[in-house]
A and B are shown apart, each in its own frame.
Chain A
Amino acid sequence: MPALVAGIHAFLPGHDVDGRDKPGHDGLGIAGDLMTYIAKPKFHHPSLKKNELGYTHRDYEGKISTLCAGCGHDSITASIIEACYELSIEPHRVAKISGIGCSSKTPDYFLGNSHGFNSVHGRMPSVLTGANLANRDLIYLGVSGDGDSASIGFGQFAHSIRRGVNMTYIVENNGVYGLTKGQFSATADRGSKSKKGVTNTDNAIDLVAIALQLGATFVARSFSGDKTQLVPLIAAAIRHKGASFIDVISPCIAFNNHAGSTKSFDYVREHNDAVNRLDVLVGRDPIAVDYAPGTVQMVEQHDGSKIALRKIDADYDPHDRLGAQTFLARHAAKGQIVTGLLYVDPDAEDLHEHLNTVETPLNTLEADTLCPGSAVLDKINASLR
């Protein structure tokens, strides 16, 4: 075939048979419009309450969710928004860090004015640990899923908990690989059925049990469909100093909300065994707690905030790590999903204390502090001789 000869094979622009001068629909965006959902109107309720900073809960929103309609993750997003609003957190003081997966997309949908890092699959805990060591002044919110934390990032999860990184680690747990269309994840219960009808033969990883075993100092489980329980749990976890872990069962509407699933709305509602409910009392406006005496246990955290625990199971002690583990195992065997604040150590230490790091975040350390000069070096060297 002869090569193109300039001047002969030139393509003439315009002059289409149908008379249009541009292909497609004139003036309409094409590629950009395919994934566009309706934008959420900027209007908000005219008498919406404001927090101490003068923000409404709408000010803690992010972009509009692109997850499937009805996804449990969106409710967790809403709960994080509500918790941050209620705690009057300044958005620029939060770092939200995630891995890969449906769950790990969600930080885009809340706290639009916060720092964010969407890391590699399963590597959220390392990135978070590093960020935390570099700047201990931020509030760290690790958002992950059951695939991200119980499979590819299982080791990462374990080590960040074990080290006591000061963070709130939320697993949005739907027991299924949603992005690859519904395979069982590592947290899917043995015997539960996939949407296609396959029965799971593998044992499930219970992240709460592991977190308890590895020394997390705030351990809770909740359900995306129960915001009255979830919002205060997130708020209490944010105020906790140390490794806080919340496992949130979050039904996957598209692939794991059928009969036979143990992570569906119906199943979780039927088998939810809440040990307690809580109110978080922060600083200046304590809520008058008027529950029947003996049913409320006050837990004061390191920063002075209080958690009012309304006991549902009178014998449950959230300060007993071993007891919690046994309780959890016993109830799991009966097919019950234990939710609530399962364990808290209000006087926990975090990684910075373990490592005896400097109080000042690294990014604000001046050069003369970082490099104090040869005299100091000589002194150190002398001490080692």
Chain B
Amino acid sequence: MKPTDIAAPDYFHKVVDCQWACPAHTPVPEYIRLIAQGRYSDAYMINWKSNVFPGILGRTCDRPCEPACRRGRVEETPVAICRLKRVAADFKDDIKQRLPRPAAKNGKRVAFVGGGPASLTVARDLAPLGYHCTVFDGDPEAGGMMRTQIPKFRLPNSVIDEETGYILGLGVEFKGGHRIESMKALLGEKYDAIFVGSGAPRGRELDIPGRKEAAANIHIGIDWLSSVSFGHIDKIGKRVIVLGGGNTAMDCCRTARRLGGESVKVVVRSGFEEMKASPWEKEDALHEDIPILNYMVPVAFKHVAGKLIGVTFQKVKAEYDAKGRRNLVPSGEPDETIACDDVLVAVGQENAFPWIEQDCGIEFDKWHMPKVDPKTFVSTNPKVFFGGDAAFGPKNIIWAVAQGHDAALSIHKMLSGEDITERPLPDVQVSSQKMGIHEWSYDNDISIDKRYKVPHRDKVVALKDIRAEVELGYDVKLALGEAERCLNCDVQTVFSTSLCIECDACVDICPMDCITFTGNGEESDLRQRLKAPSPHPDQDLYVSSDLKTGRVMVKDEDVCLHCGLCAERCPTGAWDMQKYFIEMTHAGSTCPTRSRSAA
């Protein structure tokens, strides 16, 4: 293999698995260290800069970081990153003084369609640069789906108010109750740029027999949730069936339990394990006495005299073809009808752009989605950008944020007369953490420690009050315990070939057998010759250039604990522990010279 180029920003970025997995690339270990030090406001601001909604995401994020967490590969469970994010938000001081000041206007106007996470992120990035940002939303308050679709027992209004408030406080103009009905008209208002962050507002239908006849008791999940959110709906039948296996389904069933649903069941087509819902949301639903029945496909709504009486399901089983693709085939068991009073349909969401006229210069593909550049988020109209669910279909808040940052950068570059396809490199700092002979600036005393449970509100109390938040968040002590589980993967093992005398001290001390000195070879061959098995080829090998004996140093990054023992036991300082800090390029970052690599 070729010697690893550790100067490429991506190399060490990938080693910080959580940060790499996060669409917004939030510097997770950095803020977890700050939490451990009790510097909650600092931890919050790192989050705020990167993911804009730390308090909201600390309760609702889909957590792509956690399955990636290295702790999950060396112990059973990853660090509770999301809950620690909430800790930063819960325990911070007043951070208003740290927010950017509303800037003097630069005379350029940007319109936003929809006031959800994508639009607000773009506005947050652009407003401090002097852009006049106007956000239009059909709802009276900002927040979009965060406010209307996520139940209050998961995300209280106070948190949404606070974090959307920080953005609107930057001088962003919010026009609530003002739904944009015509793109053509909006274009006519001569904004310098338009950002469409209107989400995926339409719940998918389930067109099976009986749908029309029993319509009075069949509700589309997201519409029903927003009606509950606005207080238009405050009760449901005693027996409720929720169809669908995503997080919306979980929100529907738990909301139903709070509105009078005594026997609430979730029924999914797939197996329990393959459900789209996050594992912890399934857990929370089960905890609230909501059974999840799997491998059952709804085939008909049963009704008598226009009144829903139940749903009939066909039982299926999973079969895998030669390519490993799963097919659901009838299991041969008789159909089952489950009696119910109401059905909530949460089988997916769709985009809908009835308000974009055909002659706006915005082209759509065959799936009726706008043609959007995945890097710059520009549509075929150079002044119109898309982001969040509106751009590439339903995903999670953190994706909308990440796309918002990129779209904001494009808008800023376009309005500065620059080429939007040229993406500036992220800013990377690497600095040694050695402080003394046996002293490092981070806590590297790594011990086996199970993930801490988060306290919940008593179930009886929680089920009575739809606005009572269920998760109570870590207290300071739990937060400290959980923060100490972080392995500090951003403190990198950096190897200097010229200093190495091949004494093997690092090989002997490494608790995880990560390091091997051996003859060079192709990657697949090298992976066979490492000191310990190498089960994750997606984890990089760090390879040195040729050493004096003609061998190379190979380090499998996979399960490195970043304990620093290699550096500790290295007599020549060939190993050093260096903190890697990467700041993703946002609108207004400097040095737009070199084009970005793969990051």
Q: Is A151 an interface residue (CB 8 A)?
A: no
A69/B571 in contact, CB under 8 A: yes
Q: Is B444 an interface residue (CB 8 A)?
A: yes
B509/A70 in contact, CB under 8 A: no
* Contact mask for chain A residues 26-58; partner B; CB cutoff 8 A; 1 contact, 0 none: 000000000011111111111111000000001
B75/A43 in contact, CB under 8 A: yes
* Contact mask for chain B residues 562-599; partner A; CB cutoff 8 A; 1 contact, 0 none: 01110011111000000000000000000000000000
Bound state CA distance, A38 and B533, in angstroms? 26
Select from chain A the residue with minimum beta-carbon distance to B533.
A47
B511/A41 in contact, CB under 8 A: yes
A38/B564 in contact, CB under 8 A: yes
B533/A77 in contact, CB under 8 A: no
Residues of B near A41 (CB, < 8 A) are: 446-448, 511, 561, 563
Interface-facing stretch out of B22-30, B245-253, B286-294, B496-504: B496-504
Select from chain B the residue with minimum beta-carbon distance to A37.
B438
Bound state CA distance, A266 and B561, in angstroms? 31
- B440 → chain A closest CB, angstroms: 8
A38/B568 in contact, CB under 8 A: yes
Residues of A near B548 (CB, < 8 A) are: 266, 269
Select from chain A the residue with minimum beta-carbon distance to B534.
A47
B448/A43 in contact, CB under 8 A: yes
B549/A269 in contact, CB under 8 A: yes
Bound state CA distance, A43 and B501, in angstroms? 27
Residues of A near B507 (CB, < 8 A) are: 78
Bound state CA distance, A58 and B313, in angstroms? 54
A70/B572 in contact, CB under 8 A: yes
Q: Is B212 an interface residue (CB 8 A)?
A: no
A78 interface neighbour in B502, B504, B564, Cβ under 8 Å: B504
Residues of A near B535 (CB, < 8 A) are: 47
Per DSSP, are chain A's interface residues mostly helix, strand or loop, or mixed?
A: loop
- A254 → chain B closest CB, angstroms: 8
B503 interface neighbour in A47, A48, A72, Cβ under 8 Å: A72
- A377 → chain B closest CB, angstroms: 57
- A259 → chain B closest CB, angstroms: 13
- A324 → chain B closest CB, angstroms: 27
Bound state CA distance, A74 and B565, in angstroms? 14
Whether A74 touches B505, Cβ cut-off 8 Å, given contacts A44-B511, A45-B532, A253-B571, is: yes
Residues of B near A38 (CB, < 8 A) are: 438, 444-445, 563-565, 568
Residues of A near B561 (CB, < 8 A) are: 41, 43
Q: Is A251 an interface residue (CB 8 A)?
A: yes
Per DSSP, are chain B's interface residues mostly helix, strand or loop, or mixed?
A: loop
Bound state CA distance, A225 and B503, in angstroms? 6
Bound state CA distance, A94 and B73, in angstroms? 34
Residues of A near B438 (CB, < 8 A) are: 36-38
Interface residues of A in 293-308 (CB under 8 A from B): none
Select from chain A the residue with minimum beta-carbon distance to B518.
A228
Select from chain A the residue with minimum beta-carbon distance to B530.
A45
Interface residues of B in 522-565 (CB under 8 A from A): 532-533, 535, 548-549, 559, 561, 563-565
Bound state CA distance, A128 and B444, in angstroms? 40
Select from chain B the residue with minimum beta-carbon distance to A264.
B501
A45/B505 in contact, CB under 8 A: no
A70/B563 in contact, CB under 8 A: no
Q: Is A227 an interface residue (CB 8 A)?
A: yes
Q: Is A68 an interface residue (CB 8 A)?
A: yes
Q: Is B508 an interface residue (CB 8 A)?
A: yes
Q: Is A265 an interface residue (CB 8 A)?
A: yes
Residues of A near B75 (CB, < 8 A) are: 43
Residues of B near A39 (CB, < 8 A) are: 445
Q: Is B352 an interface residue (CB 8 A)?
A: no
Residues of B near A75 (CB, < 8 A) are: 503-505, 508
Select from chain B the residue with minimum beta-carbon distance to A77.
B508
Q: Is B185 an interface residue (CB 8 A)?
A: no
Interface residues of A in 56-110 (CB under 8 A from B): 58, 64-65, 68-72, 74-75, 77-78
Residues of A near B569 (CB, < 8 A) are: 65, 69-70, 74
Q: Is A257 an interface residue (CB 8 A)?
A: yes
Residues of B near A49 (CB, < 8 A) are: 533
Bound state CA distance, A74 and B503, in angstroms? 9
Residues of A near B502 (CB, < 8 A) are: 225, 265
Bound state CA distance, A40 and B168, in angstroms? 50
Select from chain B the residue with minimum beta-carbon distance to A257.
B501
* Contact mask for chain B residues 386-398; partner A; CB cutoff 8 A; 1 contact, 0 none: 0000000000000
Residues of A near B73 (CB, < 8 A) are: 46
B511/A47 in contact, CB under 8 A: no
Bound state CA distance, A37 and B438, in angstroms? 7
Bound state CA distance, A189 and B501, in angstroms? 22
A45/B570 in contact, CB under 8 A: no
B559/A70 in contact, CB under 8 A: no
Bound state CA distance, A283 and B448, in angstroms? 37
Which of A40, A45, A49, A257 has the largest number of chain B CB atoms within 10 A?
A45
Q: Is B74 an interface residue (CB 8 A)?
A: yes
Interface residues of B in 474-510 (CB under 8 A from A): 501-505, 507-509
Residues of A near B514 (CB, < 8 A) are: 45
B571/A48 in contact, CB under 8 A: no
* Contact mask for chain B residues 410-451; partner A; CB cutoff 8 A; 1 contact, 0 none: 000000000000000000000000000010000011111000
* Contact mask for chain B residues 213-236; partner A; CB cutoff 8 A; 1 contact, 0 none: 000000000000000000000000
Bound state CA distance, A141 and B503, in angstroms? 24
B559 interface neighbour in A46, A64, A74, A257, Cβ under 8 Å: A46
A43/B505 in contact, CB under 8 A: no
B559/A45 in contact, CB under 8 A: yes
Residues of B near A42 (CB, < 8 A) are: 447-448, 511
Select from chain B the residue with minimum beta-carbon distance to A227.
B504
Residues of A near B505 (CB, < 8 A) are: 69-71, 74-75
B74/A40 in contact, CB under 8 A: no
Sample 21 A-B pairs with CB under 8 A, ordered by A number: A37-B438, A37-B568, A38-B445, A40-B509, A40-B565, A41-B511, A42-B448, A42-B511, A43-B74, A45-B532, A45-B533, A47-B533, A47-B535, A48-B513, A48-B532, A70-B503, A75-B508, A77-B508, A224-B504, A253-B571, A266-B548
Give 13 new A-B contacts, CB below 8 A, not counting A38-B438, A75-B504. Answer: A40-B511, A42-B511, A43-B75, A44-B512, A44-B513, A46-B74, A47-B532, A47-B535, A48-B533, A70-B501, A70-B572, A78-B504, A225-B504
